[in-house]
Amino acid sequence: MLYTGLTSVTFRGLSVPEIITLAADAGLDGIEWGGDIHVPHGELETARRVGELTREQGLAVTSYGAYYRLGAFEGRAEQQREFAKVLASAVALQAPVIRLWAGKQGSQSCENRLLLAEEAVYLAGLAREQGIGISFEYHGGTLTDTPESARRFYEEAKGVAGAYWQPAVNCSVERRLEGLQAVTPWLTNLHVFQWAAAGERLPLSQGEAEWAVYLDYAAKVSGDRYCILEFVREDSPKQFLEDAAALKRWVQARN
C-alpha cells in the first residue's frame, strides 16, 4: 500500500512546528525528518521531542534523512563513531529507516565500490540491532546513479540495505522506470517531485501522466511504502498544499 509524506528538507527555513502543521493541514500520512537542520545528528532530546510532536498530530515518522555518505570516514572505528550519532537520533526519533547516500562519486569514477558495499553491510548490522533499516537514495554522484549500478550495489551489499527511488534528472520516462524496476527488490520509499529538463521546479500536477507510470508500477510492488514530497516550486507552502492534494488523489486512486 502507498502512503503520503513530506521530507522536512523541502522547507529548511521553516521550524519543526511549522512543518508539522503544513503536513497535517495537507492531510499527509507522515514526515521524513532531515539530519542537517531539523534533527541534527546526536541531539537526542531534539529527536525525541520532534518525534513526539509529529505523532501528537497523527503523523508518522516515515524515516530519518541522515545524509551520511559511505566512504566519508576511514576505518571501522571512525565509521562506528560517526554512525552512532545518526543511529541514536533515529532511535530517539523512532524512525523505522535511515536514509543514506551510496558514496561520494558516481559509478563511472568510483574505484572502491566493494569497500562501500562492505561499509553498507556493516552499518546495516548496527542499525538492525536497534530494529532500524537503512536505505540509500537513488541519486547522481553516487553508486545508485544508474539502474545498472544501483542493482549491482544492492547485490554487492548482500541485500541488507533498502532503496529509495526518485526520477533521475534529464532522463526519459522509460529510463526512469527502468531505475525503479532495477531497485524493486529493495524498494523502501519514493521521493516525489516534478522538474523540467533543466531542473526547474514545476507544480506536481504537471507531471500527472509521468507519475501515473511510476505509481502504477509502485502500487503493484508488495509491501507498504511512502511517497514523500520534495522540491516544491519556489519553496512555497501554498504550492506544497496543491502538490500534496494532487499526490493524495493519485495515491488514493491506486490503493
The CATH number of whichever domain residue 157 belongs to comes to: 3.20.20.150
* Residue 191 domain boundaries: 2-254
Question: For the chain, how many structural domains are there in total?
Answer: 1
Tally of CB atoms within 10 A around 230:
19
Residue range 160-181: average pLDDT?
95
Q: Can you give the pLDDT at residue 1?
A: 97
pTM for the whole thing? 0.96
Query: Is residue 187 very low, low, confident or very high in pLDDT (cuts 50, 70, 90)?
Result: very high
Residue 11 has pLDDT above 90, yes or no: yes
| Interatomic CA distance for residues 32 and 190, integer angstroms | 11
Provide the residue type at 33 as one letter.
Answer: W
How does pLDDT run across 195-221, given as a tens digit for each residue? 987 779 999 999 999 999 999 999 999
Task: For residue 101, give the nearest of 42, 152, 153 by alpha carbon.
Answer: 153
Report the Cα–Cα distance between both ends of the chain, in Å, rounded. Answer: 6
**How high is the pLDDT of residue 169?**
86
* pLDDT for residue 88: 98
Give me the residues paired with residue 97 across strands. Answer: 133
Please, what is the average pLDDT of the chain?
Answer: 96
Q: Cα–Cα distance between 58 and 28 in angstroms, integer? A: 10
Helix pair angle (113-128, 76-93), 10° resolution: 40
Residues 6+ apart with CB under 8 A from 129: none
Bridge partners of residue 229, in order along the sequence: 6, 192
Contacts of 198 (CB under 8 A, 6+ apart): none
From the list 220, 223, 111, 115, the residue with the least C-alpha distance to 162 is 223
